[in-house]
Amino acid sequence: MSWLPSLITNTPEDGYNLALNLSRMAVKMTQPDDAARARMRPDYSNNADSLTMASHVVATNFQTVAQANGYWRD
């Protein structure tokens, strides 16, 4: 089974969690070496610009998920 069977979620909160997962998977697929990611983490986790960009990636992914879910309108 795929790690991403669907963009459809029950709630906006579930959608946001999916957006976070999409963002994390993008990093993992871009840099598959666990040790390399661990070495880099202190640099970006203490950098305001890096954290802002990470938030932007999550927001972009959330926008995609929200659109796929019709913005959870009834």
Domain-located, residue 28: yes
Residue 13 has a CB neighbour count (10 Å cut-off) of: 10
User: Residue 29: is its pLDDT beyond 80?
Assistant: yes
Number of structural domains in the chain: 1
Domain-located, residue 39: yes
Domain-located, residue 49: yes
Domain-located, residue 57: yes
CA 64 from chain centre, in angstroms, equals: 11
31-66 per-position pLDDT tens digit: 999 999 999 999 999 999 999 999 999 999 999 999
User: Residue 74: is its pLDDT beyond 90?
Assistant: no
Domain-located, residue 3: no
Taking the whole predicted model, whether its pTM rises above 0.85 is answered as yes
Closest CA to 23 of 67, 50, 62: 62
| Vertex 28: Cα angle to 51 and 50 (nearest 5) | 15
